Amino acid sequence: ADLGEMKPGPRWGQSEPGLELFFQDQPMTLARWPNEGFVKIVELLGPTLTDVRGAKGCQEGIFTYDGDRPQRWSGAPDIMLHGFWARDWADQRLKVESIDTEKRVITLQAQPQHAFGFRKGHWYYAYNLLTELDRPGEWYLDRQAGILYFWPPAPIENGKPMISVLPNLVTMKDVAYVTLRGMTLETCRGTAVTIAGGSQTRVVGCVIRNTGGWAVSLSGRESGVVGCDLYNLADGGVSMSGGDRRTLTPAGLYVDNCQLFRFGRWNPICKPGVNVDGVGNRVTHNLFHDAPHMAVMWGGNDHLFEFNEFHSVVQGSNDAGIMYAGYNPAMRGHTIRYNYFHHVYGFEGRGCNGVYLDDMFCSASIFGNVFYQVPRAAFIGGGHDNVVENNIFVDCKPALHIDARMMGWASASVPIMKERLEAVPYQEEPWRSRYPQLLTYLEGNYAEPRNNLVARNICWGGKWDEVEAKAKPGVKFIDNLTGQDPQFVDAAHLNFQLREDSPAWKLGFQRIPIEKIGLYASDDRASWPVQHEVRPKPGP
């Protein structure tokens, strides 16, 4: 049998789990310490010091630890550490070179290095240790002897133990009018289903779980994933890319009426429920919950995100968003409307972001969404031409964030924005007609936020805004209802429809079709009804 090997991740956010064990349709835990959570770097001993905007660290993975637990690991092969070594948005799995138990010093293998170095107080755990197999649900594989050790959480004869062997399950290339329907696809080391090119190909009403990669990789045109339950995924849910950016030709790819949860379980950073690229794709009527990082990440142009529900995501990071895009002013034309974002708090309850338009991202429309208990719910990181309109913000701290980062700490990235704009034919058709603002983008000081509109929003509870002083000239505020009771139908039970006497109507607020948000009953659904619970706000 191919037992594989324990490999470090080549860079942050990239690692392959290899052979895994599943029991009762759930992934089991490779024996680790501590059993829950992390321990922290005590002192750094690496010789090459680093200083990133005052955050001091070192480049080499040499550091001290507290306690004597590593004494138990003497002689163990392939000891692995999974850590957030310098940033809460950049993890990496690295292999231990040596442990000096007298001096309490861990030295990691020199290659691959972590791109951002190491910082005191950052967190990690150890795994792949037979001596730490100390509770039900843990396992360990002795690759040299070919023996798998497992402490089952229930009688093993009733639990259907399975190990992943196949790299992938289904691959379709340049096919048309093919449908996978009603299947359970599970237990592989890589991506379960790949649809490469072609058209009108669908995955419908399937359960895809326990993968070592993505559930579905999707390209081509007019193909999609419908009514599926996608969960326990080492990477993300659906990665879809299609369309031609130079001609702005849409692909029409879609993810609709799917439940996506417990994705990013092995690679927890930047492995969202849905990753979208290209032109003219859509993500609609989905439910995203229980994940360590982003639910949706996107790039490209002219995508639509509507009628989705999000909760209990971004559990393992703070500098992250429920939805995220950034670092390219030419990726325009996106619509984010009629979604419900709620009960999202960030790592240890220390905050995160809702719709995160990072680093000069431009021309997104955030319209008619409901945000409840989401910090920095609408986040504009220095971009132009964004619209935040007709949204409801309840108990968000704050509801709105706008900064002018390119005029300050991120000024070194300003030339990159010019390069990325000039990489597309923005002065030619159809670009010049579709995005006329780009014709004057480089005029004057384009590091300034410009032409952002915040209109007819409702904010109740929490805090309305945090807008950097340098950003204020580039923001137009119109008829927002803040600090005045909007007269919700039943806020105590999270019914945020407005009563007939709401003062928001006089400001031109438009009704949000809340009843249409989320999953819907259909013969194409893999399961119905769908049960899910929000996670309470964690403490530090």
Which residue has tokens 């791109």? 115
pLDDT band at 353 (very low <50, low <70, confident <90, very high): very high
532, pLDDT greater than 70: yes
Return the exposure string of 107-132: e unless at least 16 CB atoms fall within 10 Å of the residue's CB, then b: bbeeebbbebbbbeebbbbbbbbbeb
**Once rounded to an integer, what is the mean pLDDT over residues 38-43?**
98
**Cα(57)–Cα(230) distance, integer angstroms:** 39
Instruction: Point out the least confidently predicted range of 106-115, 145-154, 291-300, 520-529.
Output: 106-115
Provide the CB-side half-sphere exposure for 114 (13 A, CA). 29
How many Å is the Cα radius of gyration of the chain?
24
**Cα(382)–Cα(362) distance, integer angstroms:** 9
Q: pLDDT above 70 covers what percent of the chain?
A: 100
pLDDT band at 113 (very low <50, low <70, confident <90, very high): confident
Q: What's the pTM value of the predicted model, to 2 decimals?
A: 0.97
Q: pLDDT above 90 covers what percent of the chain?
A: 95
**CB neighbours (10 Å) of residue 320?**
25
Which residue has tokens 């991120």? 410
Spatial CA neighbour of 382 closest among 408, 359, 363: 359
pLDDT confidence of residue 452: 98
**Once rounded to an integer, what is the mean pLDDT over residues 431-440?**
98
pLDDT confidence of residue 262: 99
**Cα(199)–Cα(177) distance, integer angstroms:** 7
Sign of CA dihedral 1, 164, 317, 322: positive
Bridge-based pairing state of the strands 274-278 and 184-188: unpaired
pLDDT band at 53 (very low <50, low <70, confident <90, very high): confident
Per-chain mean pLDDT for the chain: 97
pLDDT band at 198 (very low <50, low <70, confident <90, very high): very high
pLDDT confidence of residue 540: 64
pLDDT band at 115 (very low <50, low <70, confident <90, very high): confident
User: What are the tens digits of pLDDT across the range 222-246?
Assistant: 999 999 999 999 999 999 999 999 9
539, pLDDT greater than 80: no
400 within 8 A of 466, measured Cβ to Cβ: yes
Return the exposure string of 287-302: e unless at least 16 CB atoms fall within 10 Å of the residue's CB, then b: bbbbbbbbbbbbbbbb
